[in-house]
Amino acid sequence: MELIELHHVCKTYHLGDIDVPVLKGVSLTVAQGELVSLMGTSGSGKSTLMNILGCLDRPSSGQYWLDGTEMSRLPSDQRALERNRKIGFVFQSFNLLPRTSAWENVAMPLAYGSEHLSDRETRRRAEEMLCRVGLKDRLDHQPSQLSGGQQQRVAIARALVNRPALLFADEPTGNLDSRTSAEVLHMFQELNDQDHITIILVTHDANVARTSRRVITIHDGVIMDGSFGLRSKAGASQIGVQPAAAAMGGVR
Amino acid sequence: MTAYRIVRTAMKALQRNPMRAMLTTLGIVIGVGAVIAMMEIGTGSSSALQKTIASMGANVVMIRPGTAASGGISFGAGTITTLTPQDYEAILRECPSVRSAAPVVRARTQVVYGSRNWVPSSIYGTTPSFLDIRDWTTLAEGSIFSERDVLTANMVCVLGQTLARELFQGQSPIGKEIRVKNVPFRVVGVLSAKGANMMGSDQDDILLAPWTTIKYRVTGTALENTNQSAGSAGSTGSVNTLSNLYPGDAPSLYPERSAVQAADNPMPVRFANIDQILTAARNTAEIAAAIEEITDVLRARHRIAPGEPEDFTVRDMTEMTNTLSSTTTLMTNLLLCVAMISLVVGGVGIMNIMFVSVTERTREIGLRMAVGARARDIMRQFLVEAVVLCMVGGAIGIVLGHGGSYLVQLLLRWPVETSPAAIAAAVLVSAGVGMVFGFYPAWKASRMDPIEALRYE
């Protein structure tokens, strides 16, 4: 079983009387330890797909298996728990708590976990993660005292503090200059290589996507390319079929 | 999360915006402070008022003997001679709601000092607790006679202001000797002025002496019956023995004396009736209980079968009691209204700011949800923040309110009474206000969609 399996996932938003289909039957798999980019222009359904993959949203139809659990059926409390245990998020705008020290920002997800750590243990885990992202001497700095790259690294440490299997990065370099972007992307590669964390980079930037070994391209609610990983080449033949179906869907 | 961590998280969140937290709490601080100050000043004035009214005798319960009737002719209230000093002792002993009791023996006669004389409106034979019952314990001069004076029927007395003025004309009466119906009394004290009572009669026109002295030396009823055989020897036995008044009494211990023996050697019978028993209930609320207990004790002592009419009447100062309790209720309700209004205003302030806070921290809420906070975690966080704000505000309010009332006491000399109940109520109410007014914003926060919240600008 792969880490992520998506079977014919559709998502339709209801705006008043109008149904807006955003995802039109997406199937894909991601294996444990992959570094994947999810590419698409804005309005392509990329964010919606990421929300579903990140268990923040539920598909209208279809199945989503994450690490052997069927996520699309779980109630929201259960999904919150799964998010806490299995998924880390890194956002474009960092989303750090203002006026809160770096280590406390990193320790925040631990408060919602099922393992009740002592204060010492919590702090130790947070410090360990900050060391891992190279912010050993910035433990007690507040976000306003950190540069953009450092803030994003704090965010990465926060995403990793619960030791998740899966890391989502939504436009992680969108607010960074090219040099710090490269640093952050390098860090993702390193995490993928050394710790075998599965990483999904959501981006519209081809340069960013290039750092990953596999690129999934989504356009107009269907996957154009890269549905199945290198290890499941067998499915590749299906890929050619889907755009045609999508095109027909678009015409209709 | 443990309760400690939840509170700590809330404290940290509040610390991130100390200015706003402070301004928010200000509403509660003022609310609770006002409540505490009002309560303390209010209870102070209320109890001062109660004390004033109580000094008019609001807690007094009077027991008077019932009506004697003979052949269909009633002799009016207080004519039956069945109330005894033993009754008063029993009431004191057996009625828990009665704080104090005193027998009263009345006389009306001339009081003479030197060349001056006066007939005081009341000459009361009683015990020292009379003054305690009437809230009259401060004397202008000297002191009250003692219990020992009562036991030994000493000829000492205490004068009211009017009487002292009429007889002594400004001189000090202490140690002087006055005569009451030719019995010499030494003046040991002068009462403080009390003025007229509610009916307008002068309460200072009074002479107090031990009831034994008045009974046996001044009015002389008992002595008259025993010593002077002027009347009929037979009447001695028939009127003054308890065994006749209370059928079913224990049989006599001594052999019956013959009529000759009685005539030769008359025995002083020390039976004495008293005109009235004054008792004071412990407080206004216990008056009803006191009346019930007294009635039970006296019915048992007087051996009145159930259903039989009582040979005594028990009265309280209903008019005054009603005034007193209605004043207190009015005060309490008024203060409660003020307290409620200020707390509601404070609570609305809290709700406002919590809404602002929830809106401002939408992204934080989204983030917390994304990293695994459940709806109830978010709800709890904001609820605890509101409650912490209110509790801190309440604590500061208590200190400020207490300080304020202390200042009022110091500067304006108003009576102030610390009320632990008000403090406890303020703590509970401020926590409650936090809960109630924090609930809606917290609920709104917990209902947020993490995706929308994360995208919120």
* Vertex B275 angle, CA B131 and B54, to 5°: 35
- What's this model's pTM, rounded to 2 decimal places? 0.66
The answer to whether the Cβ–Cβ distance between B372 and A104 falls below 8 Å is: no
- Which residue in the set A51, A89, A104 is minimally distant from B371, CB to CB? A89
Write down all domains in chain A, each with its CATH number in brackets.
4-251 (3.40.50.300)
- Within 10 angstroms of residue A70's Cβ, the number of other Cβ atoms is 12
pLDDT for residue B224 is more than 80 = no
Token duo for residue B53: 């009214």
In the numeric block, the tokens 């309490």 are attached to: B332
User: In sequence order, what DSSP letters do the residues of chain A get, joined into one string?
Assistant: --SEEEEEEEEEEEETTEEEEEEEEEEEEE-TT-EEEEE--TTSSHHHHHHHHTTSS--SEEEEEETTEEGGGS-HHHHHHHHHHHEEEE-TT--PPTTS-HHHHHHGGGGGSSS---HHHHHHHHHHHHHHTT-GGGTT--GGGS-HHHHHHHHHHHHHTT--SEEEEESTTTTS-HHHHHHHHHHHHHHHHHH--EEEEEES-HHHHTTSSEEEEEETTEEEE--S-GGGGGGHHHHHHHHHHHHHHHH-
pLDDT for residue B241 is more than 70 = no
A198-203, strands of its sheet edge to edge: A87-90, A166-170, A198-203, A35-39, A214-219, A222-225
Q: Does A226 touch chain B (CB under 8 A)?
A: no
> How distant is the alpha carbon of residue A132 from its chain centre?
19
Note the pLDDT tens digit of each residue in B168-181.
998 899 999 999 98
> How distant is the alpha carbon of residue B174 from its chain centre?
33
The answer to whether the Cβ–Cβ distance between A112 and B377 falls below 8 Å is: yes
Note the pLDDT tens digit of each residue in B310-367.
888 888 877 777 777 787 778 777 877 877 787 788 888 888 888 888 998 999 999 9
**Which element (helix H / strand E) includes B64?**
strand B60-65
User: Is residue B298 a contact partner of residue B91, using CB atoms and an 8 Å limit?
Assistant: yes
Chain B nearest-CA distance from A149, in A, is 19
A61-66, strands of its sheet edge to edge: A18-30, A4-15, A61-66, A69-70
C-beta pairs of B108-112 under 8 Å, 24+ apart in sequence: B109/B180, B109/B181, B109/B218, B110/B180, B110/B181, B111/B163, B111/B167, B111/B178, B111/B179, B111/B180, B111/B207, B112/B178, B112/B179, B112/B180
ipTM given for this complex: 0.88
Note the pLDDT tens digit of each residue in A224-247.
887 776 554 444 334 433 444 444
The answer to whether the Cβ–Cβ distance between A158 and B371 falls below 8 Å is: yes
Q: What was the pLDDT predicted at A234?
A: 41
In the numeric block, the tokens 């600008």 are attached to: B457
What are the extents of the domains in chain B? 3-53+324-455, 60-316
- Which residue in the set A80, A97, A111 is minimally distant from B369, CB to CB? A80
Rounded Cα gap, residues B22 and B389, in angstroms: 9
Nearest Cα residue in chain B from A83: B372
Helix (H, G, I), strand (E, B) or coil at B330: helix
What residues form DSSP beta bridges with B207?
B123, B159
pLDDT for residue B80 is more than 90 = no
Note the pLDDT tens digit of each residue in A89-137.
999 998 999 888 999 999 999 988 877 788 899 999 999 999 999 999 9
The answer to whether the Cβ–Cβ distance between B15 and A99 falls below 8 Å is: yes
Q: Give residue B273's identity as a one-letter amino acid code.
A: N
User: Is residue A38 a contact partner of residue A203, using CB atoms and an 8 Å limit?
Assistant: yes
Q: Is B155 exposed, middle or buried (0-12, 13-18, 19+ CB in 10 A)?
A: buried
Q: Which residues of A touch B17 (CB under 8 A)?
A: 99
In the numeric block, the tokens 């996520």 are attached to: A71
In the numeric block, the tokens 């209110």 are attached to: B390
Note the pLDDT tens digit of each residue in B204-216.
899 999 998 898 8
Nearest Cα residue in chain A from B1: A111
Q: Does A56 touch chain B (CB under 8 A)?
A: yes
